[in-house]
Structure 1
Amino acid sequence: MRTSPPFRADHVGSLLRPPELLRARQTLTGEALREVEDEAIRAVVRGQREAGLQSATDGEFRRASWHMDFIYQLGGIGQAADEQITVRFHNEQGDIEFTPAALRVHDRIRLNEPIFADDFAFLRDTVEPGVTPKLTIPSPSMVHYRGGPASIDPGVYPDVEEFWRDLSAAYAEQVRRIGALGCTYLQFDDTSLAYLNDPAQRAELSERGDDAEHMHLRYIKQINAALAAKPAGMTITTHMCRGNFRSSWAAAGGYDFVAEALFGELNVDGFFLEFDDERSGGFEPLRYVPPGKMVVLGLVTTKRGELESKDTLKRRIDEAAKFVDLDQLCLSPQCGFSSTLEGNELTADEQFAKLRLIVEIAQEVWGSA
C-alpha cells in the first residue's frame, strides 16, 4: 500500500459542480456564496472517501476555471479590458470555443498573498484522518502559454529573462506559503507540455513569435526553478492533458516530442498523463521515466459517462508496464471532470462510478488503492 501520493487510485482534481452550487453562483456573492460552497465541498470530500480514495480535493468548486482564477491573482497580472483569449476545442459534433478574458503583465510579477490559501485550509480541516488533502494550481508555463510575448509589457520587462525569474520566484513563494499551511500534496496542472506535442500547436506558437521547438525546455527550466526549494515532505506532481472543456479537446499527439526532457529533467515526483484514447499516442515515451518517479495512467475518460471495461484497463496497464516498472504506475481519470464550472457531459453518478472503478482496479492490480 502506498502511504504517500500519488496513490494507486487517484484523480486529477476537478469534479462536477452540483446544481445547487451552479445556481448559487448566479445569484449569490461573498459569504453567502461561500457558505454554499462549503457545504458542497463537505459533501464531495465525503464522496471521494466513500469511493475509496486516499486523497481528496475540493473539486475546484470555488473556481470558474482551473487556471485563470489563479493566474489573475498573481501580482502584476490583470485582465485585459475588452479583449479575450480564444481557445478552440473539438468534439464529435464540431468545434466550440473557450474565451476567458485576456491577461496582461502590467507590472513586475509577484505573490501578494498565497493564492487559494483559505480554500486549502478549509479542505485541510474538512478531510477525515488518513485522507491527504490535495491542492491543484496551474503551472508557471500556463501564464506564458495563455498570454504569449504580446501579453508582456516591454516597459516592465525589457529583458524577458527578468519576466521568467520573477514568475518562478512568485511560484516558489506560493509553494513555500502553501507548504506552511500543511499542504503535502501539490499538483501543477500544465496543458502546455502536452499541447507542444501537437505540430499544429507548435505552428501557432511560432506564428506569435515563440521558439516552439524549444519551448518545452524553457517551461521545464522555470518549473524546476519554482520547485528548487520546495518544503520537505511535500509531494509535487504535474498533470498534462490536451484540453478538457465541456467534453472537448484542443490538441492531439503522443508525448514523444517532449518525453526525453520531460521525464528526465522535470523535478516532480509524479506525472499524471492522459491516455484515454488514440489522440494521446502510445506508451513508448514512458521508457524515459527514471526509477523513483511515479506515472499516473489517465486511462479512464472524463469526457463521457460510459464505464470502461475492467479487462481493457488491466490490459492497458500491462502494456504500459512494458516501458516502466509496474510498481511506478498508478491509475486515474485522464483529466478533471469539470475543468471549468460548466463541466463535462456526464452525470455525478457516472463520475463517482468511474472513481470507484479506478479504486477497484487498483486493489486488484496492486493490492491496495
Structure 2
Amino acid sequence: MRRDRPPFRADHVGSLLRPPELLRAREARASGRIDADELRAAEDDAVRGVVRMQEDVGLRSATDGEFRRTSWHMDFIYGLDGIGPGEGHVDVVFHNDDGDIEFTAPSLRVDGRIGVSETIFGDAFSFLRDNVTSAAPKLTIPSPSMVHWRGSVAALDEGVYADVDSFWSDLTDAYRDEVGRLGELGCTYLQLDDTSLAYLNDPGQRAYAASIGGDPERQHIEYIRRVNEALAGRPEKMSVTTHMCRGNFRSSWVAEGGYEHVAEALFNELEVDGFFMEWDDERSGGFEPLRLVPPGKQVVLGLVTTKRGALERKDDLMRRIEEASRFVPIEQLCLSPQCGFSSTVDGNALSYEEQVAKLRLVVEVAEEVWG
C-alpha cells in the first residue's frame, strides 16, 4: 500500500527544532553584529543539514524546517500586500502539565488592498527544491482562515474594506495567485496550516469566534468555503493537505475537544487531498469522527507527540492505527507526529536527538503497517 503522492505513509508536519548555531546567528543579526547576507548563509547551511537528516531517516517529504521564519504563520501573513503589524498585541494563554504560559502574539492591520507582489517564501522554496535528493520538497503556509482568525473584522481599515466580503474576495484572490506562483516554481506538495479548524471544536474557542463577529456554530463552514476559493484552479500536479492542531508553543497547547463539531464539513467539503490531525493525547478525543471520511481522502494520524521527548512504543502506535482503521479503511491512513517540533523559533522541550528518533519511529512503524 505504498503511496506515490503526498501525503505519504510516513510524513511530518513541517517545523523542526532550530539548531543552536542558527539561533546564535539570528541573535547576532538582531543586534547588528552580522548582516543579512551572513544570516542567509547560516540559514542555508542549517537547511542543507536538516534536509539531509529528513532523507537519512527515510522520510519521503522534506521541509526547510521553517528555519527562515520566526513563527509558522505571521511571516507569511506579513508578506501579503496590504497587511502589516498592528498596534498592540494579542495575549494567548497556553497550557501544559506544569501550568500556564502567556504568549504575546503579534497583531496585524489590514490597511491596503491585499495582494501578492512577490511570491511569498518563493526563494526559500526554491532553495529547498534545489537541495533535496530523494524527498519531495514540501512547503507549509498558513491558510487564509488564519488571517481572519488572527485579525478579525477589527483589523480592517474601513477606508480600504467597507465590508468583510470584499476583504475575503481579495484575500482568496491573493492566495490563488500565490498557489499558482508556487506551482510555477515546481511545488508539488503544499500544506495549509489551520489551527482554527481544530480550535473550533472547543466551546471556549467558539465563544472567541463570536467575539470577532463570526457565527460560532458555522465559522468552520465559512472557513472551508474560503479555503476552497483560495485553492480553485490549483496546479494539477500539486497535492494539498491541511494541518490542524490545538496550539503548539514551547510544548504547550491552547484548545481541546474532539473533531466531531467540524468533521462532517471538514472531510466532505474541504477540497484537499489529506488531513494532518493530532491524536497524541486525550485532548483530541477519539477516532469516531473518521467514520465521516469519504473515499479518496487521506488522514495522517498525528500519534507521535512533539511536545515531549519520551519515545512512543511501536506496539502502542500500531494498536492505535488499528483502532483508527475501524472507522476508515487503513489504506486511507498515514502516520506522522501530531504537530511541528518548533512552531515558533522557540521550539518545544525536547532535544535534537529525540526529534530525530521520533521521525525515525514514524518511518519504521509505517513500513511495518503499510509495507
**TM-score above 0.5, yes or no:** yes
Cα deviations across residues 206-260 of structure 1 (Å, max 9, x unaligned)?
Answer: 1232212111011000000011110011000000000000000000000000000
- Aligned-pair identity in percent equals 67
The match for 2:14 is 13
The aligned amino acid for 2:255 is: A
The match for 2:366 is 362
Cα deviations across residues 143-170 of structure 1 (Å, max 9, x unaligned)?
Answer: 0001111111222111211111111110
Aligned residue among 149, 154, 157 for 2:153: 149
The match for 2:32 is none
The match for 2:211 is 207
- What is the TM-score with the length of structure 2 in the denominator? 0.97
**What is the deviation of 1:97?**
2.2
- 1:310 equivalent to 2:311? Answer no
The match for 2:78 is 72
Gaps of 5+ in 1: none
Contact conserved, 1:149 with 1:210, CA < 8 A, in 2? Answer: no
**What is the deviation of 1:271?**
0.2
Contact conserved, 1:141 with 1:192, CA < 8 A, in 2? Answer: yes
Determine helix, strand or coil for the equivalent of 1:99: strand
Gaps of 5+ in 2: 30-34
Determine helix, strand or coil for the equivalent of 2:294: coil
Number of residue equivalences: 365
Cα deviations across residues 91-148 of structure 1 (Å, max 9, x unaligned)?
Answer: 11111122232101111111111100000000000000x3100000000000000111
The match for 2:116 is 111
The aligned amino acid for 1:270 is: G
The match for 1:244 is 248
Larger mean Cα displacement after TM superposition, 294-303 or 155-164:
155-164
Determine helix, strand or coil for the equivalent of 2:68: coil
The match for 1:180 is 184
Contact conserved, 2:138 with 2:190, CA < 8 A, in 1? Answer: yes
Determine helix, strand or coil for the equivalent of 2:246: coil
Cα deviations across residues 146-195 of structure 1 (Å, max 9, x unaligned)?
Answer: 11111112221112111111111100100000000000000000000000
Q: Distance in 2 between matches of 1:181 and 1:62?
A: 18
Q: Distance in 2 between matches of 1:273 and 1:171?
A: 23
The match for 2:62 is 56
Cα deviations across residues 270-319 of structure 1 (Å, max 9, x unaligned)?
Answer: 00000000000000111111100000000000000000011110010001
Determine helix, strand or coil for the equivalent of 2:217: coil
**What is the deviation of 1:26?**
0.4
Q: Distance in 1 between matches of 2:186 and 2:212?
A: 40
The match for 1:100 is 105
Q: Distance in 1 between matches of 2:106 and 2:174?
A: 22
Larger mean Cα displacement after TM superposition, 135-144 or 159-168:
159-168
**What is the deviation of 1:57?**
0.2
Q: Distance in 1 between matches of 2:318 and 2:26?
A: 40
The match for 2:3 is 2
- 1:38 equivalent to 2:44? Answer yes
